[in-house]
Amino acid sequence: MTVLSVSNLSKFFGSELIFENVTFSLLKSEKCALVGRNGAGKTTLFNIIAGIEEKDGGEVAVSRASKISYKQQEIIFQGTIFEFMLDEHKELKLIEEKMEKNPSVNELEILMKRYEENGGYTYKATIKSVLKALGFEEDVWSKNVSELSGGELERLKLARVLSSNADILLLDEPTNHLDIIMISWLENFLKSTDKTVFFISHDIKLLENVATSVVSLFNRTCKKYSLNYLRYKEQFEKEIEEILKTNELNAERISKYEEFVRKYRAGIKSGLVKSRQIMIENLKNNVKDIALDRNINFRIETSQRQPKVVISFQDVDLGYEYPILKGLNFDIYRGDKVGIIGKNGAGKSTLVKGVLNELSPIRGEIKIGENIKIGYFDQKLNNLNFENTLYDEIFYNENISSANEVYSIMARFGFEEDDGDKKVGVLSGGEKTKLSIIKLILEKPNLLILDEPTNHLDTDTVYALKNALIEYSGALLVVSHDRFFLEGLTNKSICLFDEKYYMDIISASEMIEKFIMKTEKTKDNIREKPVSERKVRVNTYKLNEIERRIKELENRIDILHRELNETTTDWEKINLIHNEIEKLEEELLLYYDEYEMMKKGAV
């Protein structure tokens, strides 16, 4: 069943065409990625579908039974976090108010049916679950929305979309401001939901694992591929290659026929000339004028050889008034590429500040090896002067000696020559990030520290940066939530969790599963052996007690459900029963989890 249909959509900004003839449709429960280079109009297309921006031509049709939810850009809301979430369900709140006014039996039956169909008995539980998954624990639900930081507000807006009762979710870069654990949760949520999901993302792992189809915005129009992301990439590259070959062949034929026309314009062969002229026009019409992104390809050089030990943490406690990280005791060696992962607030930035000597240890010592030249990428882009032009930001560097060098490095990062005259302040987020990286690598550091370098970068630049770092001979510390970026790049991972650190020679994904997911579930010894390697000891008395309590709760819930079926007109009583069922089911889930862990010998 089609839930969203876009037909011949076009959009101009002034006289500049953004896209035209954009046509595609989405099916119920489909998970579709919208891809395209920076500036292709992806967010503009979302805004048109959501009714935020006007289109210049074409139609957007949403099925009568479907509702769209899209993250608000600006929020003017006075109230708490939980009230903001409830505000997405105004229709349900209105039904609740009507049911509380003692309607007639017939009216109540109609209201109750609408209430159930729109998720009235589950929406609050869904809100609570999503809030917790995105880092909002119950103790902050009463906090005013106006008190949130920018990152917290973005996560809250995402939570509101995910917990809505909409049938179609439009998600524009949903992983921004999420930590690596939240991204894993989001991925599972999107894969398992029965809602239609249309999303834009620079997170390649999310694209690979969630998208079942792809809409590609390219060359000012679009094409839909009923393929997963990896197969789409292969197909798209094959199509571009075929177009370029055809264009090359047509150009050769045009040149050959034009030479014939010049040679035999007059004389006995004039009839053949006219035929060739028609053929030239036909061939020119068949040449597809495609604007390809410039190939991004660069290397990161080092100025001098590193010592064997680049960084040494010796019994370090790091923090401000109190330690955020305790007992850091490890070395980073020449050529090490170390990924730093952890939940938001776990201390990743604190660790980086310690290495940069911006934060002194509360205890212990951080030693930096001799002849170490640090290059630091700050996600706040503090190394850029927004009043300068892009050209000046690159030119005024001691390792740049000519204008040709500036334009050469601009080209390697996908910039056009005309971009050099743009003020840094008007560049897109991805362009600013690329410029910051250019300035960084011109310094030829032998220790790179990167804090979320892939935010705002398109997928081609992420691939190029990853490849350059793989070839880089210096040491690397990289804070990132991008699983694709870390995979195959790092040879060690440091996981920060509960004021502790865990270092291992495994991938970021394995690190998350081993040290965070497991600990979140069990709150037990993080360094314990796998269940299969240790003797399982079950507390039989406790197990019997849990079984008894589970049975009691299940019986009580059954009784309440029977009571609910018998109560048809007393809305207040119905509401009380539903609230009690909800609380008992939450308690029951906890007992189920504990029972499973005990059976496996985890308690």
pLDDT digits (tens, 9 = 90+) for 152-180: 999 999 999 999 999 999 999 999 889 88
Say whether both 439 and 484 belong to one domain.
Answer: yes
Q: Are 232 and 216 in contact, with CB atoms under 8 Å apart?
A: yes
Tell me if 293 is assigned to some domain.
Answer: no
Say whether both 211 and 273 belong to one domain.
Answer: no
For residue 210, which amino acid is it? Answer: V
Tell me if 591 is assigned to some domain.
Answer: yes
| CATH value at residue 141 | 3.40.50.300
User: Six-digit token pair at 440?
Assistant: 């960084």
The count of domains in the chain is 4
What pLDDT, on the 0 to 100 scale, is given for residue 563?
79
**Low-confidence winner among 12-26, 111-125, 178-192, 397-411 (lowest mean pLDDT):** 111-125
DSSP 8-class letter at 379: T
Residues pairing with 363 in the sheet: 317
| Residue 405 banded pLDDT, cuts 50, 70, 90 | very high
Pairing of strands 492-497, 500-504: antiparallel
| Residue 359 banded pLDDT, cuts 50, 70, 90 | very high
Taking 80 as the threshold, does the pLDDT of residue 376 lie above it? yes
Taking 90 as the threshold, does the pLDDT of residue 215 lie above it? yes
What pLDDT, on the 0 to 100 scale, is given for residue 332?
93
Say whether both 377 and 412 belong to one domain.
Answer: yes
User: Six-digit token pair at 126?
Assistant: 């869904």
Q: Say which residue, 467 or 513, is predicted with more confidence.
A: 467
Percent of the chain predicted with pLDDT > 90:
48
| Residue 566 banded pLDDT, cuts 50, 70, 90 | confident
Domain range for residue 471? 309-522
Pairing of strands 221-225, 213-218: antiparallel
Q: Say which residue, 156 or 568, is predicted with more confidence.
A: 156
* Separation CA 321–CA 478 (nearest Å): 26
Tell me if 67 is assigned to some domain.
Answer: yes
Say whether both 368 and 468 belong to one domain.
Answer: yes
Say whether both 472 and 487 belong to one domain.
Answer: yes
Q: Mean pLDDT score of the chain, rounded to an integer?
A: 85
112-144: pLDDT as tens digits: 888 888 888 888 889 999 999 999 999 999 999
Tell me if 486 is assigned to some domain.
Answer: yes
* Separation CA 324–CA 351 (nearest Å): 9
Taking 50 as the threshold, does the pLDDT of residue 472 lie above it? yes
Q: Which of 232, 259, 294 is the last residue of a domain?
A: 232
Say whether both 325 and 348 belong to one domain.
Answer: yes
Say whether both 366 and 493 belong to one domain.
Answer: yes
Tell me if 6 is assigned to some domain.
Answer: yes
Q: Which of 522, 556, 573 is the last residue of a domain?
A: 522
User: Six-digit token pair at 411?
Assistant: 């080209």
Q: Which of 214, 232, 250 is the last residue of a domain?
A: 232
The model's pTM is 0.75
Q: Provide the edge-to-edge strand list for the sheet that holds 196-200.
A: 68-70, 168-172, 196-200, 31-35, 213-218, 221-225
What pLDDT, on the 0 to 100 scale, is given for residue 539?
52
233-285: pLDDT as tens digits: 999 989 888 888 887 888 888 888 788 777 777 655 566 777 777 877 877 77
Q: What are phi and psi of 537, to 5 degrees?
A: -120, 120
Say whether both 218 and 270 belong to one domain.
Answer: no
User: Six-digit token pair at 455?
Assistant: 């935010």
Say whether both 450 and 548 belong to one domain.
Answer: no
Look at residues 449, 579, 526, 577 and name the one whose alpha carbon lies nearest to residue 128. 579
Q: How far is CA 55 from CA 6, 44, 49, 223, in A?
A: 11, 9, 9, 19
Tell me if 196 is assigned to some domain.
Answer: yes
Tell me if 528 is assigned to some domain.
Answer: no
Average pLDDT over residues 213-231: 94
What pLDDT, on the 0 to 100 scale, is given for residue 531?
37
Say whether both 86 and 191 belong to one domain.
Answer: yes
Average pLDDT over residues 62-71: 90
Tell me if 299 is assigned to some domain.
Answer: no
Say whether both 472 and 341 belong to one domain.
Answer: yes
Average pLDDT over residues 180-188: 90
Say whether both 62 and 95 belong to one domain.
Answer: yes
* Separation CA 397–CA 400 (nearest Å): 5
Alpha-carbon dihedral sign for residues 158, 508, 206, 29: negative
